[in-house]
Amino acid sequence: MSDKLDMQNTSFFPRTKVFERVKTFIDLVHREMRSLSRMMRFRVFCVLLVFLSVGGYLLSSQYAANLAQLSPTFGMTVPRYLLGSIDATFYLVLQVGTMYMVFDAHYRLQRDRVAEVLHSKPVSNLGFLLVRVIGTTTLIWLLVASNVVGLYLLGLFSFYTEVGYFQPFQFHSMFNLVVVDIYVVVLFWSAYVSFLSSLLSSRIVVVLISLATFLVNYLTLVNSPYFLLAVISPFSNDTLFVSEVLPNFSKVSTIGIRLATLFATGALVVGAAMIWPRNDQNSSSLKLSLITGFVVISIALWGWTFTHHVNSYDQVYRWRESHQTIEYSQKLDLNEISGNITINPGRQLMINLALSFKVQELNHNKLVFSLNPGMNVVKISLNDAESLFTFENGILEVLLPETGIGLESLTLKIEAHGRPDPRFAYIDSSVELFRSSNVPLSAVKLFGKDGSVFTPQYVALMPGVAWYPVTGVMVEKSIEKIIPTDFFNVDLVVEIIHEHWSLVGTGQTNKIRQTQNSYRVYSTNPVAQIGVFAAEFQTIPLNVVGSETEVYLHTLRESGQEMSDESIATLQKSVKLWLREITNNGLTLPRSTINLVEIPSRLRTVGGGWRMGARNTLPGVVLFKEFGLPSLSLDSVSRKLPNDLVVTKEQMLINFLNHYIRNGLGTDNLWLDTPDLFFAHVTAATGSYAEELDQIIRNIIGSLGNTPFESFNIYSTIHVAPLTEINRNVIRSTPVYSRLSIDHIGHRQTFLYIKALEIEYGSRMAVWDLAEKHGFLYNSTILGHQQELELFLFKTREIAKAILETNDKQAVVGWIKAIRELSLGRSYTYEEVIKLAKQHKVTAEPFLTQWITDRGLPGFMARFTEISQIKENSNGTQRFQSTIDVHNATPLSGLITLRYRNAPTYGVVSSVASYTPVTPIVVPAFETKSINLIANYPIEAVIINPHLSLNRTNIYLLKQYKHTQGQASLDPKPFLLSSKWIPVESGIVIDDLDSDFSFSQPRNSFALNHVKQIGPMKWVFGFQQQLDYDSALPTIDTIGTQQVHRDSWYRVSSLRAFGRFRRTFVALDRFTPQHKVSIRAEIPTSGTWMLQYHLPSTASNLFDNKSNTIQLNINSKEVHIGKQVSLDSMTRGWNQIGSFKLSSGRVKVEITGTSANTPIIVDAIQWSPVLLPKNAVD
């Protein structure tokens, strides 16, 4: 309140007329605002808020200028969409700032002697508190609004002057924030702190309680799943998917919550007036009645809104339960879907369809279909005879007549109308995207929310929402396939009420000229699903040879931005290149039409079931999101190109666009489902190993191009989704293309770090562990859905790689073409795949046999046997022969490929280009192959790639050539021979990967060593990803920025460690008494045994010159010996510890530290009879 309060103006509360009261009230609010604005604390708050607002906007602008030009995913982080993802920390800052302005208001009244004036004047407590609360709120609101509007105007200026760096906010999201959200929530917290200051005399207590409340509120927000944000978040944009195609104001639920907040604010203000220790002679009973009324209305509004909102999500569970529990048994073969569809956007979808099918299996007198619950079924008939039916929870049951109908050929006709409910799609999802607090909000925004869109601006009828009758139920008892296996013909006539709209559907789409706005949607080849998209599209033909390709862009974009001619020309050439990568290998498209369709960001692009595969392609249709390709400014990229390019500017832009598309995360990658266009949309496997075969062929087709192919893994994308939020480290790790060159395009620099993380996540150590222990699993109780899916994707990818590595590419393409031609429009079987592989001379063993049917992995041991000089060739050139032995020590056959140095230099180098590849070799189970490599120089370095095996990584072999007299007369040996070499260990060796090697440590030591990063902290510091585990221990072979806790054992891969198939050791940074390693061994005979300890490197290298001593306790039936060993005295390799008399049986070696907080490493130990050589293990 003003220091010089004019109390003549305050007497309006009990006496003056309404108009004068309002006028005086506004004047007092103005005085309060002016008084607060002069305070130093307000200026500090202004500086902080402006810094955060402008800082976030500038970082987002850097995303627009850099990352958004490199990946479509980062298009949603640019300033235009920024208000749709405001961090909850901004809300916390507003809360603290509000408290800072209000918490000592009563103290200031006493200090400024305003309280004495109030006691002498007839001013009501309620009136005075209203002035304080509204004045404070209005001042803060004006500050926030001026920040937002100022940045918006800056963006407008940049947009219209074509400066290009800044962007205006999307208008609807700005309106929601400024008008609907900020004022109400600041008003509430201002009233809350005023209530506390009236109730409590201590300012410190007021601050502490306020801060505790804010913190609880903040933690609730950041840890809540997506579906609760609509009723607890202060920002309505959190759940609206800020969009230019479908701009939205706040939803009804948000308005209900805001009204409930206003009534709660009224209750707090009246309550504060009531408990204020000053008698204003107003009726306490009236105040109590107001409080009661406000509280009741607030609770009623909030409770109704909350219940209505949560029930809308609970409905999915009720649908799922109904589909899981229905009893039926049928197998229908759908032949054709035909009929008429009328689309009245936003109002009604009318379908009049005929489904022709035959019944292959039926154990009930009913047919079961799934249909969206938003539809109302008017009439059902079977073979033109009206039939009885029931329709509830999306299950359509059609009763069969008792007699007079044959099951060989049936036609079901259905008339229905309604608005498809988008929640009905993918109700069997294994990941609760919207209800799980483990799924970050950034991931939800990547995947979309609605299974369909049916609004006045856009219509997207995805097949997953069952807008037409689908055979069976939405939650099948069997495995959910990424592509359905029932293929049928389509012939539909679709009429759109809006005259200026266009339509595109699966298969072929042609406009019917005789009618106003009708289209024929039909299939030239059978399809397994139908999708329809309609809006006011701008159609751009791309004129790609061999394919009728068109791009459908929504014309009613709020920004008015359109693709330039240069962008269209570049996209055309990029699509040609994309198709050519596969078609050049001989695999042609089964359909002549491909349509690229822009979709709103809220349309869901991931499916359901345990796979939750990508849903961004349909037969003949590729979907791309509004914040990606349409917002890419190739003109600005073009302006940055230098004039002295090695290649043409046109080629540079094509390369740039190709990398831009492939850098999209998850379903933002336009070419993610390219293999489906060539194969899965026209045929699919059935029967044994159907899922595996589909995915293997999918991986093979995707790998035919020059770009590495990776199937969509929803868990990988969820893992990296937080990295899409604003962070300066992501920007810094990406090159700014001030000068683009051909060296940049196509190399690691354009392959974003975040994209690499997404791909590498599916090959982390924990997934290798699964592959070692399990075969293919799905819908089992052994592993969780994530482990099952990651194991499935990992093994099928490695099998596809092995098939391509072993066979001629043209033979593989011919094999796939034969499968497609044989099963076009129907499904194929495992037996047919194996038979066709033999016909096309494609090696399928062991990749499509043991690797699919058996559990476990092959494992290899290798040695560099010798290097010898052999007879000269016919030209008189000297030759050398290097012999490598490779033994497969497991019951599964495996694949190896070799590379050897192409220059006579000893040692291993990292450059792949300096090595010559060798023909792939299949090593059968428990066999040894001797490989003879011949060159005109001694081959002294060989790298063996063991592919899918227990080795996991390359095997490096080195041997230095020593000239021996008489070797030049030796005849060369055949390239591949069988060998009798079997590696044998001398003594008993226990490695850190063996089952007899165990460890102990304090509970929960595996936690990451970092503090949860919140708000602007995420702008500055790197993101911490989850731990990766290698055989139950964390590994520092990271899949993201992470730090293992110092109190945790962790596993390290090292070429200098001991290992049979792969080399690792276990380490600990800080020893405590709870840490211990136990190594057990079985001593076969009594006698004297030598104990040796393997050290992968010298102690000075491992511990930064720290002095380190370990304690070894050796325990058996008769022996209990403790011995301290200094690691400083050890050398790299095997080190003798001592000789011990042991009886036959179990002996245990326990290894601990001798002093706290010192590091320890443990690799392997060896027990050897003293009669054997001391260093018996190679």
DSSP string covering 451-464: S-EESSSEEEE-GG
Question: What pLDDT sits at residue 436?
Answer: 86
What does the pLDDT read at residue 91? 87
Q: How far is the C-alpha of 1078 from the C-alpha of 1112, rounded, in Å?
A: 10
* Contact call for residues 1134 and 1092 (beta carbons, < 8 A): yes
What is the tens place of the pLDDT at every residue in 545-561? 666 788 888 887 655 56
Confidence of residue 514 (pLDDT cuts 50, 70, 90): low
Residue 979, Cβ neighbours under 10 Å: how many? Answer: 17
pLDDT over 70 at 746, yes or no: no
Residue 479 has pLDDT above 50, yes or no: no
Question: In this predicted structure, which of 149-163, 324-338, 778-792 has the lowest mean pLDDT?
Answer: 778-792
More confident residue, 599 or 727: 599
Please state the pTM of the whole predicted model: 0.89
Q: Give the amino acid at 736.
A: V
Confidence of residue 930 (pLDDT cuts 50, 70, 90): very high
Q: How confident is the model at residue 849 (pLDDT cuts 50, 70, 90)?
A: very high
Based on its alpha-carbon atoms, the radius of gyration of the chain, rounded to whole angstroms, reads 36
Residue 5's pLDDT band, with cuts at 50, 70 and 90, is very low
pLDDT per position as a tens digit, 670-710: 888 889 989 989 999 988 899 999 999 999 999 887 777 88
Scan for tokens 């165990």, then name that residue: 998
| pLDDT tier, 1178 (very low <50, low <70, confident <90, very high otherwise) | very low
Q: Where are the domains of the chain?
A: 7-38+78-309, 326-533, 536-599+620-630, 673-712+766-855, 860-979, 988-1169
The span from the CA of 623 to the CA of 596, in Å, is: 6
- Nearest to 499, CA basis, from 338, 340, 345: 345
Q: What is the DSSP letter of 363?
A: S
Sequence-distant (6+) residues with CB within 8 A of 104 are 197, 203, 206
Q: What tokens appear for 955 in the block?
A: 């095997």
Q: In whole angstroms, what is the distance from residue 892 CA to residue 632 CA?
A: 49
In which band, very low, low, confident or very high, does the pLDDT at 1102 lie, cut at 50, 70 and 90? Answer: low
For residues 332 and 1, give the distance between their C-alpha atoms in angstroms, rounded to a whole number. 78
Q: How far apart are CA 393 and CA 375, in angstroms?
A: 11
Distance set, CA 155 to CA 71, 163, 972 (Å)? 22, 9, 74
Q: Which two tokens stand for residue 718?
A: 């969820």
Query: Who has greater pLDDT, 722 or 3?
Result: 722
Sign of CA dihedral 1021, 1026, 1032, 1037: negative
Instruction: Identify the H or E element spanning 127.
Output: helix 125-160
The confidence score (pLDDT) of residue 273 equals: 83
The yes or no reply on domain 326-533 and CATH 2.60.40.1730 is yes
Residue pair 137/183 in contact (Cβ under 8 Å)? The answer is yes
Among 831, 897, 807, which Cα is nearest to 585's? 807
Q: Is the pLDDT of residue 895 over 70?
A: yes
Q: What is the pLDDT of residues 172-213, one digit of tens each?
A: 999 999 999 999 999 999 999 989 988 888 889 999 999 999
Q: pLDDT at residue 641 above 70?
A: no
CB 1118 within 8 Å of CB 1154: no
Contact 1055, 1133 (CB under 8 A): no
Q: How confident is the model at residue 1039 (pLDDT cuts 50, 70, 90)?
A: very low
3-class secondary-structure state, position 1161: strand
- 1082, β-bridge pairs: 1146
**Taken in order 1076, 1081, 1087, 1093, is the CA torsion positive or negative?**
negative
Strand partners, 370: 395, 470
Say which residue, 1044 or 117, is predicted with more confidence. Answer: 1044
Partners of 1092 in beta bridges: 1136, 1166
- E strand map for 959-1023: 976-979, 988-991, 997-1000
pLDDT tens column, 150-159: 999 999 888 8
pLDDT of residue 777: 66
As a whole-number percent, the residues of the chain with pLDDT over 70 amount to 85
Say whether 860-979 and 326-533 share the same fold: yes
Question: What rounded mean pLDDT belongs to the chain?
Answer: 83
Q: Is residue 914 within 8 Å of residue 902, measured between CB atoms?
A: yes
Q: Which of 425-429, 446-450, 1114-1118 has the lowest mean pLDDT?
A: 1114-1118
pLDDT on residue 874? 82
Tell me the per-residue pLDDT of 230-258, one tens digit each, with 9 for 90 and over: 899 998 888 888 888 888 888 888 899 99
pLDDT at residue 166 in the model: 86
What's the pLDDT at 630?
77
* Lowest-confidence region among 95-104, 120-129, 515-524, 685-694: 120-129
For the residues 644-653, what does the mean pLDDT come to? Answer: 70
pLDDT of residue 1007: 44
Topology (CATH level 3) of domain 988-1169: Jelly Rolls (2.60.120)
The contacts of residue 1107 (CB under 8 Å, 6+ apart) are 1126, 1128
Instruction: Please work out, in degrees rounded to the nearest 5, the angle formed at the alpha carbon of residue 41 by the alpha carbons of 38 and 44.
Output: 105
Stated as kind and residue range, the H or E segment containing 1132 is none
What is the structure's pLDDT at 1025?
Answer: 62
d(CA 600, CA 241): 9
Asked if residue 326 has pLDDT above 50, the reply is: yes
Q: What is the mean pLDDT of residues 34-57?
A: 88
Residue 181: per-residue pLDDT: 92
Second-level CATH architecture of 860-979: Sandwich (2.60)
Q: What are the residues facing 812 on neighbouring strands?
A: none
Q: What is the pLDDT of residue 618?
A: 92
- In three-state secondary structure terms, 657 is helix
Give the integer Cα–Cα distance in Å for 8 and 901.
Answer: 97
